[in-house]
Chains A and B, each alone.
Chain A
């Protein structure tokens, strides 16, 4: 039996950013998306180690994309969320939602 994938907070942020970016998800755009949505720009090292770890957990998959002059002729590594990653993310988010229920933290009507 496969063990369910456990996700940390930053891993969830990265997965959400990848899902928002769709086909355009790679190192630079993921960092920009996280910075735009959370106001905190992750370091390249933190992002790389998280992406590597999530690929080992099979939560994401990656493939080489096009090389551009701006990148010194080096290819982009595109990433996409796998079915397993999507399920792990929805499980984590469901747990957050359960914990939020009954609290008026977001100022909505969910209180």
Chain B
């Protein structure tokens, strides 16, 4: 049987523990007069109001990051792919993921959306221009100038920190996914050389990869939301100051 504590737990996934407790407290205060049906109807509407942006933002971010990956992979096909190209490509994926997630969740006026959007564009341009050193150097100069301007702007500093920290989590998730996927293929399926025939014979590899990827991206989204709340909005500090 569902209770108000379950409702509070679900709501806390989207608004934080403290907000969730006060919101459920508001509904409980009126439940004695209005009944359980009203409580659950109000809770459902409340949940819909607070959850649609994070959920839609996450789905859009996953799609965008996969699209960026496929587009950039097509672009670099046939190129001499160095570790630097791969790292820049991963950075572009991470930046697109964060830009789209923040854009949907916090709106296009949010500073994190701006900073991540600019970073995503610059990383993407860098990968595209990789075979042309002069153009690449120009892109790097623009990237450095933009970063400097953002650091000078006080309002954007917290967003840069949030972007960097979330980007590191994305990288870590991606590396962990690659390692776990390799371990699954080697130690569970006992496949030494993975090629197209092995992939066709073992469709579970695709499912495991997809599951690991979604897990890593979900962790990235959670970290992004927590850091944004704490540093970009500065809500936690403000509440402590008022207390």
Report which A residues bind B (CB closer than 8 A): 26-28, 43-46, 48-49, 55-56, 61-64, 67-68, 70-72, 74-77
Given known A64-B18, A70-B32, contact A27–B23 (CB-CB < 8 A) = yes
- 16 A-B pairs within 8 Å (CB atoms) are namely A28-B29, A43-B45, A45-B48, A45-B49, A48-B23, A49-B49, A56-B233, A63-B243, A64-B18, A64-B22, A64-B239, A70-B28, A71-B25, A72-B25, A74-B21, A76-B26
Which 3 A-B pairs rank lowest in CB-CB distance, beginning with the nearest?
A45-B49, A74-B25, A27-B26
A27 touching B4, Cβ below 8 Å: no
Q: In the bound complex, how far is the Cα of B34 from the Cα of A70, in angstroms?
A: 13
Q: Which chain B residues in 2-51 approach chain A with CB under 8 Å? A: 4, 15, 18-19, 21-30, 32, 42, 45-50
Given contacts A74-B21, A75-B25, 11 further A-B contacts (CB under 8 A): A26-B22, A27-B26, A28-B30, A43-B45, A44-B23, A44-B26, A44-B49, A46-B49, A68-B29, A71-B28, A74-B28
Size of interface on B: residues with Cβ below 8 Å to A: 28
Q: Roughly how many angstroms separate A28 CA and B42 CA in the complex, as a whole number?
A: 12
Which chain A residues border B238 with CB–CB below 8 Å? 61
By secondary structure, the A interface counts as mixed
A63-B239, A63-B243, A64-B243 given as contacts; is B28 within 8 A of A72 (CB)?
A: yes
Which residues of B are found within 8 Å of A64, using beta-carbon distances?
18, 22, 239, 243
Does B77 touch A at the CB level, under 8 Å?
no
Task: Give the distance to chain B from A16, nearest Cβ to Cβ, in Å.
Answer: 20
In this complex, what residue of B is CB-closest to A77? B22
B79 interface residue per 8 A CB criterion: no
Q: How far is the CA of A61 from the CA of B30 in the complex (A)?
A: 24
Residue in A closest to B8 when the chains form the complex, CB atoms = A74
Confirm or deny: B1 has a beta carbon within 8 angstroms of a beta carbon on chain A. no
